[in-house]
Structure 1
Amino acid sequence: MGAPRPAQRQYLDVPFAEKDQAKALGARWDPAARRWWSPPAAAAALQQWAARPEIPELLPGEDRTFGSGLFTDLVPSSCWFSNVRSCVAAGVEWERLRRMLLARAGRRCEICGRGEDRAVQRWLEAHERWAYDEQAGVQSLRRLIIVCSDCHRSTHYGLASVQGRGEEAFAHLCAVTGMSVAQADAHIEEAFALWRRRNLRAWALDLSILTDAGIAMAPPPDRDQRPALAEQRLGEQRAAEQRGVEYQPREPHPDAARPWVSPPVPRPDRAQAAAESAATEPAAPVAPRRWWQRGR
């Protein structure tokens, strides 16, 4: 008897870090579905990765029209490491959410429309759209989208600069939006001015579109751990780029099924900001490209 047809396969939720272990116990890879599945004979051995219910395509309270297009988007320093990759518990929970986001986006960037291309190291990544309630001091997650690494780099312009790829990020911003150099300069300056204003206070996080969907959350790293973790992740990203593979960050915390709120924190100086901006996806509070050129 041959292998079960795709519709009959018992798919698994196997975290990337555990794929070799699952494979050794009999799991097989479905390249079309991009997912591991269990042959009947290996079902008992692979039970620990039995699939959980799928996450609904529309998260509770999510606004799929919020925050369209490509723009520089800087996260206040009190909420660094609030990107979805750091917030969602490692392992199965992240794989479930990532699979849903990729499927509903048709495995295309929701900004420029391009797909993944390993030959040029263009990956598909999750990105957050945040709303800010200035009166209540709450930063609310309103939407999750899939973006290519090029659009993500332009969105987090400061991080791109820390990585030595600011020129690429600037050029991509202009190419996708149609902005002139002067318009892109003004846009980035406005984004950093808004960041500085928002950074004068500490923001509480509202992640209810995830927690209300039953997605387990992980607490962020302690603030005193962030600079060292940022340096570590920047090194890991560079090593992954040199190998031509997608960066898979290691989680600093075990799974935790509780929401969290960031505590009040003092505003960091620029040296600390530049170090912390090397985290996987938080916005980087460093000066825009042409500010450096003007000596500001």
Structure 2
Amino acid sequence: MGERIWLDVPFAEKEAAKAAGARWDPAEKRWYAPRAGMESLRPWAALPEVPELLPGEDRAFGSGLFVDLVPSTCWFTNVRSCTAPRDWERLRRMITRRAGGRCEICGAAPEANSRRRLEAHERWHYDEAERVQTLRRLICLCDACHTVTHFGLAQVRGVEEEAGRQLCAVTGMSAAEAEEHVAAAFELWSRRSRVEWSLDLSMLTEAGITLRTPPEAEQRPDIAARELGSGAAEGPRRFG
């Protein structure tokens, strides 16, 4: 078998790519062209790989499992919202590959017979004096650990008990310690949500990733209510 002609196919476009002749490599978890010169697959021709260490990235920043709530004034400015689907696919693939296909916190790997999967998560630095939210790291998390980080979203989705158990299991916190940790995270979220933050994604642009404009700040509460339910715009509830 010759070298694969890889494609960059966003998840939302997989059926279109498949209909155009793309094939799936289950070992690599990636789509490819079965032969060269297929014009129907040109829209998904692979771009250069993203470097495994992004410019200015600190892979020690934000280590461990903790509740990492995004201020409401920053909702829908995450990396996935600010990049084209093909660029997000390139980033997601790099993040998973460099983590060895495992969660960088608990070490879990995807399981074919379960719903466990790997996801990308951002670690942000908030400069409160300058009011700048800066991307410092991209980390590979299993969905269980990722749910803990977005504890407010876990509450909206009714899975806060599962998230609480995961937090305790991974960190060794008692239930009381976990409740205190979550409450402190909500207090920080509340304070940061009173600030309009400037977004610094230079870690991506310096790696050749093209950004797209996120929704305006005044639009985000309505988007949250529409996509996540009316309670989302009100913010997280306390644990327990």
- Tell me, yes or no, whether TM beats 0.5: yes
Give the aligned residue type for 2:118: L
1:117 aligns with 2:111: yes
Residues 115 and 73 from structure 1, CA distance in 2 versus in 1: closer, same or farther, beyond 3 angstroms?
Answer: same
Matched residue, 1:69: 64
Matched residue, 2:232: 275
CA contact (8 A) 2:5 2:34 kept: yes
CA contact (8 A) 1:157 1:288 kept: no
Give 1:232 deviation, angstroms: 4.6
Instruction: Summarize deviations over 1:94-149 as a string: whole Å, max 9, x none.
Output: 11111111111111111111012353322211101111112111111100001111
Give 1:230 deviation, angstroms: 2.8
Matched residue, 2:191: 197
Q: After superposition, where does 1:19-30 map in structure 2 within 5 Å?
A: 19-30=14-25
Q: In structure 2, how many angstroms separate the alpha carbons of the residues matched to 1:34 and 1:286?
A: 35
State, as a whole percentage, how many aligned pairs show the same letter. Answer: 59
Q: In structure 2, how many angstroms separate the alpha carbons of the residues matched to 1:69 and 1:196?
A: 22
Matched residue, 1:131: 125
Instruction: Summarize deviations over 1:206-234 as a string: whole Å, max 9, x none.
Output: 11101111112222223454345334534
Runs of 4 or more, structure 1, over 4 Å off, are none
1:51 aligns with 2:46: yes
Matched residue, 2:80: 85
Give 1:93 deviation, angstroms: 1.0
Give 1:24 deviation, angstroms: 2.4
1:13 aligns with 2:8: yes
Matched residue, 2:149: 155
Q: In structure 2, how many angstroms separate the alpha carbons of the residues matched to 1:23 and 1:163?
A: 32
SS at match of 2:134: strand
1:33 aligns with 2:49: no
Aligned residues between the structures: 240
SS at match of 1:129: strand
Give the aligned residue type for 1:289: F
CA contact (8 A) 2:124 2:133 kept: yes
Residues 227 and 199 from structure 1, CA distance in 2 versus in 1: closer, same or farther, beyond 3 angstroms?
Answer: closer
- Stretches of structure 2 lacking an aligned partner (at least 5 in a row): none
- Stretches of structure 1 lacking an aligned partner (at least 5 in a row): 236-271, 278-284, 291-296
Matched residue, 1:251: none
Instruction: Summarize deviations over 1:218-274 as a string: whole Å, max 9, x none.
Output: 222234543453345348xxxxxxxxxxxxxxxxxxxxxxxxxxxxxxxxxxxx7x3
Matched residue, 2:209: 215
SS at match of 1:147: strand
Residues 276 and 125 from structure 1, CA distance in 2 versus in 1: closer, same or farther, beyond 3 angstroms?
Answer: farther
Matched residue, 1:289: 239
